[in-house]
Structure 1
Amino acid sequence: MRDMLDDASLQSSPVTAELVHGAVELTAGERGLCPWRLPGRARRQIHDEGMAAVVAAPSGVRLRMRTAADRLLLQVVPLDRTVHDDPLRPAQVYDVLVDGELLAQPVAEPAAEEWVVDVAAACPGGRLPDGERLVEIWLPTEEPTELIAVHGDAPVAPAAQPGPRWVHHGSSISHGAVAVGASHAWPAVAARSAGLDLVNLGFAGQAMLDQYTARSLRDLPADLLSVKLGINIVNGDTFRLRSFAPAVHGFLDTIRDGHPETPLLLMTPIWCGIHEHTPGPVEIAEVDDGGGPRSLARATGDPAQVAAGRLTLTIIREELARIAADRAAEDPHLHLVEGPGLYGAEDARTHPLPDALHPDTATHRLIGERAADTLRRAVESTTQTVRSG
């Protein structure tokens, strides 16, 4: 791999901010750029190792370039190889899309002090298609990565991301857990289908109504916003009925301080059988039922404690619907999206959750394709309002 980087026939271009899309902030690493999914001020307020890890994980961050190169290498430094080496996590692949079509899923290979992603070699025929093309390289879902340079046998030029900018916040399901690559996460599927420029703030296990997340949503440029709330609050057992609704109102109020009229989708949880009527916390166990080791989730709460204020997904959906109704008069651009309409009990019969908690790749695609219609309507409704105004 080191010999490939030293190949005199390849031109080297440092990764610049113009190439990178989907990151909230880029900071200087030892040799390149490190993408983050929350700004520095928010990161300084994080006191949880799990949250710090998912903010560094680059799900939804991608490089966009136009090039006629046949050979193309991406030089990187993976910053947490423990994620890459965990056998219970999906392979940390780089999704390579050419003119919008997924062609390859290479991984980073060691090359002395850095690592190399051989983009072209993983494509059919071991090379990129002929002619100038739009090439997107989606970074791994969970592996923090420093971006150093692009090497190719033809120049690369940054490619703008067309379409309205959609900033989405959610849980591990939005983050892309279990999907085979970041471009397969349902927000990525929905964004491509609806023609949107995605910033994915799906944080695995961490959609907890944190105010630093709300302030980040408030301050980010956006043409469309969405927040998908509920599953982490139940499986983390972090709120009670008394505190949940005020926290949601406060979260939405903070976002509205910066986006008073931007379309905002308040999305309820998709169907998840273990938590529909049973509170958390969730317990994740490793099982092997003949097909190799896998994770399996179960709810450990007592349904009898719902009367005392413990939360289930059913209760959270009812509360979010009530909150949306309470705010409707003062916030006509807030739209409730019912999660079971994206994935419901009937879908679970044909697309079961493999670990009882997360959708697989095919189910991410199903959810994303359904969500795309909702996103289009939300963007179009605002366009019509502006035109009529």
Structure 2
Amino acid sequence: MTLPCITPITTEYMRGVVETENTPTGLILHRLPAWARAQTSDPQLTMAEAQPSGIRLVFTTEATEIALQALPTKRVYTGLPARPDGVFELVVNGKVQQQASIPNGDILHIDMAKGTATQETGTAGFASFAGLEAGIKSIEIWLPHNETLRLVALHSNAPIAPIAAPTAQQRRWVHYGSSISQGSNAAAPTGIWPAIAAMAGNLDLTNLGFGGGAMLDPFIARILRDRDADLISLKVGINIVNGDIMRRRAFGPALHGFIDTIREKHSNTPLLLISPIHCPIHETTPGPTSFDFAALAKGETRFVATGNPDDVTQGKLSLQIIRDDMSAIVKGRQQTDTNLHYLDGTMLYGARDFAMHPLPDHLHPDGTSHRLMGERFAELVLAKNGAFAS
């Protein structure tokens, strides 16, 4: 790359990041701080938190050509089709204009049947954007929501300058959720439903959506408590069911404790609890969720519920029970907490939506449904009389 201006990437150019880590091959972006990472041994959460969902580089420039140098880590699953390369999106003055990918990088070979993973070392590449309009402009580069990477530098044909964040017109929104919030099955980083909602409402998003990781971990509550935020939302339930990690007796107190921790410093911040979207395999059937191995043998990814619906009488959790309990918990706390709100997740994606746009793998919405969810969130939550109304 021969562009004359090379800018080291520092936190002043970043939005939505929690912590950065310097390495010899580039800057790793984290959505959990080191102290929290030390409190979990879950490899799935460790991988998800280092995937920069919702993180973007923001700056102004007169450049007409920009290239982001980075070293991605590609995931290759034994027996499954190759995953598409992560997508970088260029947003100019608030409008998505271009997409790019970096085909090279490290490769992580994962064998789900054996439970093994091996890494192959690669080289950095460039996500390049050319033909930009002349003159000073506001630029955002949204990073892949589902691909770990290390940032090296920004290359451009004119200098760049950071933008103070957030702007006076932007409210800071911190959202916590599962793989659906991280963006599983979305095609691009601005196509995940929290990003769609944030862009519609001019919100400064920090996305703490972690694939397989929305388990009401206490360290997440402390992160939310200590994070500067004007708005906080929690979309919980699906991972607790498909991980089969707790029973009904534990769920209510865990959710109460999670809210209590956040309220230690955000006593009046609008706090929205969102229950799970419609997911037929777990509406009345508890977890755990498993891969459909017959589908895997055909090179397809699908999930199945392995629990027994009769076990709900013994305290196991289904999505319907989760919704009932979340609604009751919020209703009870609203007697003394008027800034606590509840949204039934099926208002974002319900049974009728499933009939028109089924979950491709039986668990995660597709790109069309992500857009539907983001637009509905804006209509229901950000509009007048919504929980996050201006």
Matches of 2:229 and 2:52, distance apart in 1:
19
Q: Whose helix proportion is higher, 1 or 2?
A: 1
Q: Does 1:178 align with 2:185?
A: yes
Match of 2:28 among 10, 30, 34: 34
SS at match of 1:105: strand
1:222-257 alpha-carbon deviations (Å, 9 max, x no partner): 000000010001111111111110111011111111
Match of 1:248 among 230, 250, 255: 255
Match of 1:211 among 218, 232, 235: 218
Contact 1:139/1:182 (<8 A) preserved: yes
SS at match of 2:354: helix
Give 1:81's aligned residue. 74
SS at match of 1:74: strand
Give 1:231's aligned residue. 238
Give 2:117's aligned residue. none
Cα distance, 1:90–1:356 mapped onto 2, change above 3 Å: farther
Cα distance, 1:40–1:34 mapped onto 2, change above 3 Å: same
Matches of 2:198 and 2:93, distance apart in 1:
15
SS at match of 1:294: coil
Cα distance, 1:238–1:382 mapped onto 2, change above 3 Å: closer
Give 1:301's aligned residue. 307
1:113-262, aligned counterparts within 5 Å? 114-121=123-130, 127-160=131-164, 161-162=166-167, 163-262=170-269
Q: TM-score, normalised by structure 1?
A: 0.89
Q: TM-score, normalised by structure 2?
A: 0.89
1:79-136 alpha-carbon deviations (Å, 9 max, x no partner): x333699746443111222222222221124499752323215xxxxx2233322221
Give 2:108's aligned residue. none
Q: Does 1:280 align with 2:287?
A: yes
1:166-215 alpha-carbon deviations (Å, 9 max, x no partner): 00000000000010122111000000001100000000011001001111
Matches of 2:98 and 2:52, distance apart in 1:
18
Alignment: residue pair count = 370
Give 2:334's aligned residue. 328
Give 2:370's aligned residue. 364
Q: Does 1:352 align with 2:358?
A: yes
Cα distance, 1:253–1:89 mapped onto 2, change above 3 Å: farther
User: In the alignment, residue 337 of structure 2 is paired with which amino acid?
Assistant: D
What is the Cα-based RMSD across aligned positions, in Å? 2.3
Matches of 2:191 and 2:230, distance apart in 1:
23
Matches of 2:178 and 2:82, distance apart in 1:
19
1:367-382, aligned counterparts within 5 Å? 367-377=373-383
1:255-270, aligned counterparts within 5 Å? 255-270=262-277
1:322-368 alpha-carbon deviations (Å, 9 max, x no partner): 10011111211100011011111011111111111101111100000
Cα distance, 1:380–1:341 mapped onto 2, change above 3 Å: closer
Cα distance, 1:113–1:242 mapped onto 2, change above 3 Å: closer
Contact 2:93/2:138 (<8 A) preserved: yes
Contact 1:165/1:196 (<8 A) preserved: yes
Cα distance, 1:128–1:243 mapped onto 2, change above 3 Å: same
Higher alpha-carbon deviation: 245-254 or 133-142: 133-142
Pairwise CA distance, 1:383: 7.8
Q: Does 1:72 align with 2:81?
A: no
Q: Where does the alignment leave 5 or more consecutive residues of structure 2 unmatched?
A: 106-120
Same amino acid, percent of matched pairs: 44
Give 2:116's aligned residue. none
SS at match of 2:302: strand
User: In the alignment, residue 358 of structure 2 is paired with which amino acid?
Assistant: P
User: In the alignment, residue 302 of structure 2 is paired with which amino acid?
Assistant: L
